[in-house]
Amino acid sequence: MENRKDDKIYALELEVEYLKSIIKGLELELFKIRCLSPNNKLKSNSKKVELLSVLKELKSKTSKTLKDKENIYILEMVLKNMK
């Protein structure tokens, strides 16, 4: 009986991890859409300038979520490695 309960818990944990990965992927796509949409106020010729603008906007937020902090880190690393 205990083994079946553990198997169900393990299956649920796997399902949760799978759903989290889907959500993370969707959040990334939404972030890309927000950054690169033509209706966005970013009207620059350079991708680097666009990334800098988004980074500045994220850093200027008064209350940053964990996702904002992750995006700031990712943008900083991308910009650091850009030529």
Residues 6 or more apart from 59 whose CB is under 8 A from it? Answer: 72
Percent of the chain with pLDDT over 70: 84
Angle between helices 47-60 and 2-36 (to 10 degrees): 120
User: Among 29, 12, 40, 4, which Cα is nearest to 49's?
Assistant: 40
Digit-coded pLDDT (tens) for 19-47: 888 888 787 777 777 776 665 554 445 77
Report d(CA 12, CA 68) in Å as an integer: 28
Q: What share of the chain is helix, strand, coil (3-state, %, to 5)?
A: 80, 0, 20
